Amino acid sequence: MRQYFGRKLFIYGLTFVAAVTVNWVIPRFMPGDPVASMLARARVSQPEAVEAMRVYYTNLFGFDEPIWQQYLNFWGALFRGDFGISIYVFPVPVTDLIMGAVPYTLGLMIPAVLLSYWVGNRFGAFAARRKLLDNTVLPVGYVLTATPYMWLAVLLAWGFGVVAGWFPIAGGYSFSLTPSWSWTFFVDLLHHWALPFLSLFLVALGGWAIGMRNMIIYELESDYSNYLAALGAPAKLIRRYAYRNAILPQITGLALQLGVLVAGALVTEIVFSYPGIGSLILKAIQNQDFFLLQGSFMFIVIGVLVANFIIDIVYVLIDPRTRTGMAGAQA
């Protein structure tokens, strides 16, 4: 067991170092100089003033140090939880910006991932080998899973938001409210959350349902199912065994899907102007805000790694063979 987790942790650690490095390198290879564009926006023309401001900001953001020193500083700051000061939302610390956006992104992602996974698997398993359902669920599932996130999001926003007017189309909560611990605010929050959630949920749902349906059919046709049937076991029991076997690849799928889902959530946030990490990343790229970009990506990298680690643990818990294998390796 220890060896298994040790190996996993080592791999995650390695991934982390690589991700941090890439994350640090990429903004610095983007064309253009953030300080120069900051000065250009300030509309300063006097050469003395420009020079004074340039020196000041270059110093402030640490761009005057040698590149390797900047890299080391980045690691040092990372462990202090300090992502620097945002260039474009100057002078707000990046950490503040991210902490303001994270609740929205998590509030969208976690329910969407878990609910779509749970409902999708249940539904797929239920639909398999039931002709009427199979004929409806399968095509709908295919359409849903092939739908790009933003397209579905735009359709939902247009249909339920603009045309029907049932849902708001922008913001995390009404522009007329200030956050408070009140019922009104909570309902308003949910109201704004519904459409972005739905668009993520529906797309993911289709994939899980189809995957599960196919797995169940495969399992129901395997030898052990036939054997059970021949012994006279009730169909319900056979299905339960099939489900347990079919869920394993789905969990692996979940780990693989997480990255895609994160990307989907980012696009969805932009469509709905939802004030999460996605909107932040878009603005950071548009404004060449190194520090905000790094901070946001760091958050996503850490999030995906942690989620994958949790899935590894879950895997051990639900698949007896993994545990047997580990016990064997230890012995």
Partner 1 sequence: MQTRARILIPLLAAGLAAAACTGGGGTAAPTPATSQAGSPPAQGNAGALPRNETLYTTGTQWGPPANFNPIREWDSATGTKGLVYETLFHYDPNAGKLVPWIAESGSWTDDKTYEAKIRQGVTWADGKPLTAKDVAFSYGLGKMETVPFHNMWDWLENVEAVDDQTVRFSFSEANYQEWDFNLYSRVIVPEHVWSGRSEEDVLNGVNENPVGSGAYKYQSHDQDRVVWVKRDDWWGKTALGMEPKPKYIVDVANPSNEVAMGMLLQKGLDLSNNFMPGVANLINGNFGITSYYDEPPYMLSANTAWLVPNTTKKPMDDPAFRKALATSVDVKKIVEGVYGNLVKAASPTGLLPQWDQFVDQAVVSSDGFTFNTDEAKKMLADAGYRDRDGDGLVENKDGSKISLTIEVPTGWTDWMEAARVISSSGKAAGIEITPEFPDFNALVEKRGKGNFDLVINNERQLSSSPWTYYDYMFQLPIRKVQNTTNFGRYENKEAWELVQQLDKVKTDDVEGMKEVISKIQKIHMDDMPIIPLWYNGLWAQASNATWKNWPSAAEGAPKHAPAMWRNWMELGGFETLTQLQPAAG
Which helix or strand (DSSP H or E) is residue 199 part of? Answer: helix 183-220
Taking the least distance from each CB to partner 1, the nearer of 1 and 14 is: 1
DSSP per-residue letters across 220-272: HTSHHHHHHHHHT--HHHHHHHHHHHHHHHHHHHHHHHHHHHHHHHHHHHHHT
Taking the least distance from each CB to partner 1, the nearer of 105 and 138 is: 105
Which residue in 238, 271, 298, 300 binds partner 1 (CB under 8 A)?
A: 271
Number of residues forming the site for partner 1 (CB under 8 A):
83
Taking the least distance from each CB to partner 1, the nearer of 239 and 283 is: 283
- Residue 287 engages partner 1 in binding (rule: CB under 8 A): yes
- Residue 177 engages partner 1 in binding (rule: CB under 8 A): yes
> Restricting to residues 186-215, which ones interact with partner 1 according to CB under 8 A?
189
> Restricting to residues 301-320, which ones interact with partner 1 according to CB under 8 A?
310, 314, 317-318, 320
- Residue 45 engages partner 1 in binding (rule: CB under 8 A): yes
CA distance 165 to 161: 5
CA distance 185 to 173: 8
> Restricting to residues 75-114, which ones interact with partner 1 according to CB under 8 A?
86, 88-92, 97, 99-104, 106-107, 110-111, 114
CA distance 34 to 28: 10
Site mask for partner 1 (CB under 8 A), range 15-34, x = bound:
---------------xxxxx
Q: How far is the CB of 49 from partner 1 (least distance, A)?
A: 5
Distance of CA 10 to the CA centre of its chain: 23
Which burial class, exposed, middle or buried, applies to 117 when counting CB atoms under 10 A from its CB (0-12, 13-18, 19+)? buried
Tell me if the bond preceding 91 is cis, omega within 30° of 0. Answer: yes
Which of these segments, 134-142, 150-158, 195-203, 258-266, binds partner 1 (CB under 8 A)?
A: 150-158
